[in-house]
Amino acid sequence: MGLKAARGRILAFTDDDCEIFPDYFSTLAALFSSDTEMVMRGGRIELGDTRDLPVTIKPEMEPAVLTSDLHAGGFVHGANMAFPYALVEKIGLFDTRFGAGSPFRSGEDTDYVHRAFNAGVRVEYLPDFAVKHFHGRRELADIKRLQTGYAFGNGALYAKYLFDRRSNMRGMLRWEIRQAVMEAMGRQKLNEELGLSYRSQLRDNLTGMLAYWRAPKARQPA
């Protein structure tokens, strides 16, 4: 709904539990004013409350550019993302089957980043524009539920793009399988401190894939 109603030249996204830094909009304006091509950007996300567990953040201080050997998920977070309105005209709206409260639980930002990249748009991570995330998750059970939702959504995305030759999602799924197999052979878990494993992540991926294939086929953005 918000994307349909937007009228500005540059669209910026954050979450309702985030606070922007004072120079947020001036930094964005400077970044986009110098562009000679269409660019999607994601910015730094710092932990807003030290009592919260260090998840759903992206504190990296080094700029990066999305490439085909990287997963779109987590490269740019929907909690701090910006792009020109021209991108909406180029690739369409969000796929509403993805995201919190939707059938596939998460992944609307990952899907949009992936579609932009597939359309030949440069996707950058820059630490210059930042938000603080006050997500409130302090128990391991909260993190496991969150990770289950993310893995489920990623699985639905793997199913969506499984036969799309432009997409690297098949390669990402192979990576998930390989990590789960290596973990079963005694290699390091996804995050032992938080109780997360590659095997449980793969299980949720496969559940998400199955849910996608079973869902009614509505007309949605590519």
* pLDDT above 70 for 220: no
- Domain end point (choices 97, 113, 133): 133
- Domain end point (choices 88, 103, 133): 133
| Cβ-contact 192, 138 below 8 angstroms | no
Query: Tens of pLDDT along 18-46?
Result: 999 999 999 999 999 999 999 999 999 99
Residue 4, pLDDT score: 84
Cα separation of 18 and 47, whole Å? Answer: 9
CATH number of 98's domain? 3.90.550.10
Residue 7, pLDDT score: 87
Pair 147, 48 in one domain: no
The count of structural domains within the chain is 2
Pair 120, 206 in one domain: no
Pair 161, 115 in one domain: no
Average pLDDT of 98-116? 97
Pair 153, 179 in one domain: yes
- Domain end point (choices 133, 153, 170): 133
Residue 35, pLDDT score: 96
Average pLDDT of 127-156? 98
Pair 116, 144 in one domain: no
Pair 13, 111 in one domain: yes
Residue 160, pLDDT score: 98
Query: Tens of pLDDT along 171-211?
Result: 999 999 999 999 999 988 999 999 999 999 999 999 999 99
Alpha carbon 35 to chain centroid, angstroms: 23
| Cβ-contact 90, 121 below 8 angstroms | yes
Q: What are the DSSP E strand ranges found in the chain?
A: 10-14, 18-20, 39-47, 64-65, 80-84, 122-133
Residue 146, pLDDT score: 98
Q: Please, which pLDDT band fits residue 85 given cuts at 50, 70 and 90?
A: very high
What backbone phi and psi angles, to 5 degrees, belong to 76?
A: -125, 130
Residue type (1 letter), 115: R
